[in-house]
Structure 1
Amino acid sequence: MRQRPAPGDGASVTGTGRPTDAHGPLGTSGGALPLLAGESPDTAGEIARAVREGRVRAVDVVAGALERVERADPELCAFLDVWADEALRRAAEVDARVAEAHARVAAGRARVTDTDARVTAHDPQVTDVDAQVAAERARAHGTGSPLAHGSPTDLPLAGVPIAVKGRHGMRAAGPLSAAGAVVVGTTSVPGPGPPWQTWGRGAHGRTVNPWRADRTPGGSSAGAAVAVAAGLVPLATGSDGAGSVRLPAAWCGVVGLKVTNGRLPSSDRTGLAAPGVLARTARDAALWWQVVSAAPGHGGTVTGTNCDGSPPGGHRSSPVLGPFAPYGEGSAAPGTRGVPPVPPRFPVDAVWSPDLGFADPDPEPVALARSAVRRLVDAGVVRLVEPRVPPRLLDPAPAWLALRTGRTGTAGGAAAPTDDGTAGAGALRRENDARLARVFAEAPLLLTPTAPTAPHGHEGPGDVYSTALTWAFNLSGHPAASLPAGFGTDGCPAGLQVVAPHGREDLLLAVAQAAEADGRPRAEADT
């Protein structure tokens, strides 16, 4: 098991720096994925680049991931199914596409070289030199050619092994597979048993936290977070209906992103759940977003993306809650097809809240998240502002429970049937929406701890709802991410939750990447 670092050891501005000792998370031999001799392309972006450039085969990358899963999963129990044969077949197809792309590039260059040679020799058959050269170069570099995209292939996830959440997860994997990713299997989710969802059950048994086997990894995207944290795959899909991406991301020490509700297709008729991703780095999460938001029918505008299949328009809609708030002055959000993202100007104004005005979090996760915020401030990534009215939301538990179960009640008490639960949930949501609008009118970021407690044991969370600080943003629909915030005294990770206005995934990802760049804004880190 990976050892907990001493305070300040190996920590980036958000505490994302992983311990640099020789031990990896439970079930692995080290933190870096040994894919290339002398290199460690353990991020999705690095793997895809190596495959596209022909420095490594997708088949070898995927075989390495499958070997890691075979070795570690009997202990971690992160996977429900492993599709070894299908994954290797798919990886071979990626290699064939890459080889074909390289061959087309070589042929195009040969045509250009031949044309240039004939022009130089004043070939009498060339009557219009400029037109001939232009035509040949267009055939070599034109639309549809790999050179038109500035790379040997148009596969941004070429050969990247990924995992999908649960046995229905392939619904969300289509754009990723089209981008060259290779699904190696399905990850664990809660099974029959306890009603709380911060756990998972894989093919080999109960899913364990990769930092401490006696603790839960969180859920319901339990196996996805474990597979990423343990280095089995660099990316895994998730879904988040109350914190099901952000909580396991926090408790396993990885990046977790929930997108704006309704921005990507979802089968959840309540409108509470939104797709998301778990990744080892913010840059990989951004790569995932680049792929899924550019897919036809995904994320570009609200048109055609409502989770309830409602008609196009400037508002996202839930058949239970009604329309969510609009993205802004138009029906498209920044950073999507046709609407380029505007890089944020650092530091980005942010509001800090330890409890959102209603929760009762434990002191340690609050202190870890607050320390992460302090490092972000010191690094010039965010600037804390004091809002005129501090964030004080109504407890979303009764509304969430009413929408999900058709019953009302409090987080710690028995639920009671009601005829007007939906109406009450809508009223609570509208009030919290108004309060959040006042917060975002003063700053584009809201910062909180991701979870109110450290990871609990496998016996359950007790009377505390682990979702106390996350499910408010499933009701409101705001995009939110969990970033690693350091380690508690129990040796387990904690998370910092970052929330942005509707449709501002680009802002969340820019801040997350700046936090990883040694605490400096990305523009400075790259200079």
Structure 2
Amino acid sequence: MTRTTRTPSAVARALERIGRLDPALNAFIEVWPDEALAREPEARELPLGGLPFAVKGPAGVRSYAARRLFAAGGVPVGATSVPGPGTVWQTWGQGAHGRTVNPWRADRTPGGSSAGSAVAVAAGMAELATGSDGAGSVRIPAAWCGVFGLKTTNGLLPSPDRSGLASAGVLARSAAGAERYLRHVLDGYEPPAAPPLPLPAVYSEGLGFADVDPEVAAVVRAAVDRLVAAGTVRLLDTGCELLDPARAWQAVRGGAPGDPGAVAVRRANDDRLDALFAAAPLLLTPVTPNRPHGHEGPGDLYSTALTWVFNLSGHPAASLPAGFTGDGCPVGLQLVAARGADVSLLGMAHAVESVLPTVRS
């Protein structure tokens, strides 16, 4: 008699990896093995076919995106870590057993605030994870954990954030994974067409105001040069000079969107971005000006310097793995598109990541 071995299901494999890896990584605050395994047989008959996914934070399972994924046949396996009390910089996570660590270097932060979501995806503990991005909270951990992260156009999907800065987002292993998410959470979704190549693009190292770690800048520039050499992008002979959005973002978050200084900065940056996207469909920048910092914090450096401007402006933006610094830390390449061009952005991201090296932890 021949004994056959049953291949574990996707949910069972995800739960096995969580049980084996999460005591060291601390990506989860809660894991739901019984509920996930009970849900899987029914979910297999639906479009997502029992795809295991994680949700951001204790309330994540009630979010709009999580409910849509569940209805489409996704299986939530647990809630991921978010910053704990006293973490002013919002770049840590606090899991069930301790602080969340970067899967590439345990002495470094994974970024945040979607910290556990990025770690869960990077370590293969979930196929994708929900996130939210009010200043870079999806893109920064995606960059520092070496995964794909998408911040959607502000207002495209429901968000509980009254300031209007935060947008729903997703962390996945690739643009294809993010496309799978958007297909099931966005009404009227139409798959992206393959973009004509080369893509006209603008590259800006610091958006006119940020000082970028030279090694981070070099990794991102090398990725952009590779895209040019492959015929994927064609750089326009122009830059992107914006005003530093720090005080404007803080004013809006603090409940003073009508602050004259904030209004002036937002208007000037919106005008410059409108002109840029009238000439090119794609803006390329580093995701962060710095590499992942230690768990003690970044000091006076704003990890959000290159991301939160697009929370103010509302543009969709993605983070793709660009490579590594010499100390083994992943670096992210940020792709930004016109407002509402989320689907097109995913099509462009797919073309870009097909040229760049794949990052796997």
Question: Normalising TM by the smaller chain, what interval?
Answer: over 0.9
Deviation, 1:238, is 0.4
For the pair 1:261 / 2:154, whether they are aligned, the reply is yes
Q: Match of 1:349, SS?
A: strand
5 Å matches for 1:23-422?
60-95=9-44, 98=45, 155-170=46-61, 171=63, 172-294=65-187, 300=188, 336=189, 341-387=192-238, 390-406=239-255, 422=259
* Alpha-carbon distance in 1 for matches of 2:255, 2:311: 17
Equivalent of 1:507, from 344, 347, 350? 344
Paired letter, 2:26: C
Matched-pair contact (CA < 8 Å) for 1:381–1:519: no
Deviation, 1:361, is 1.1
Q: Which runs of 5+ in 1 are unaligned?
A: 1-36, 38-54, 99-154, 295-299, 301-335, 408-419, 521-527
Matched-pair contact (CA < 8 Å) for 1:381–1:511: no
For the pair 1:455 / 2:306, whether they are aligned, the reply is no
Matched-pair contact (CA < 8 Å) for 1:234–1:279: yes
Q: Which runs of 5+ in 2 are unaligned?
A: none
Paired letter, 1:64: R
Deviation, 1:92, is 2.5
Deviation, 1:406, is 4.0
Deviation, 1:516, is 3.2
Deviation, 1:519, is 5.8
**TM-score for the superposition, normalised by structure 2:** 0.93
Aligned Cα RMSD in Å? 1.8
Paired letter, 2:303: S
Q: Match of 1:431, SS?
A: helix
Paired letter, 2:17: R
Cα deviation per residue 1:87-134 (whole Å; 9 max; x = unaligned)?
Answer: 111112224xx3xxxxxxxxxxxxxxxxxxxxxxxxxxxxxxxxxxxx
Deviation, 1:381, is 1.3
**Identity of matched residues, %:** 64
For the pair 1:439 / 2:290, whether they are aligned, the reply is no
Paired letter, 1:496: L
Deviation, 1:405, is 2.2
Deviation, 1:490, is 1.1
Paired letter, 2:219: L
Moved over 4 A (4+): none
Higher-Rg structure is 1
Deviation, 1:424, is 2.8
Matched-pair contact (CA < 8 Å) for 1:445–1:500: yes
Deviation, 1:421, is 5.9
Q: Match of 1:267, SS?
A: coil
Cα distance change of structure 1 residues 434 and 281 upon mapping to structure 2, 3 Å threshold: same
Q: Match of 1:236, SS?
A: strand
* Alpha-carbon distance in 1 for matches of 2:142, 2:26: 17
**TM-score for the superposition, normalised by structure 1:** 0.64
Paired letter, 1:164: V
Cα deviation per residue 1:290-311 (whole Å; 9 max; x = unaligned)?
Answer: 11113xxxxx4xxxxxxxxxxx
Paired letter, 2:36: A
Paired letter, 2:322: A
* Alpha-carbon distance in 1 for matches of 2:355, 2:317: 22
* Alpha-carbon distance in 2 for matches of 1:441, 1:355: 21
* Alpha-carbon distance in 1 for matches of 2:246, 2:352: 31
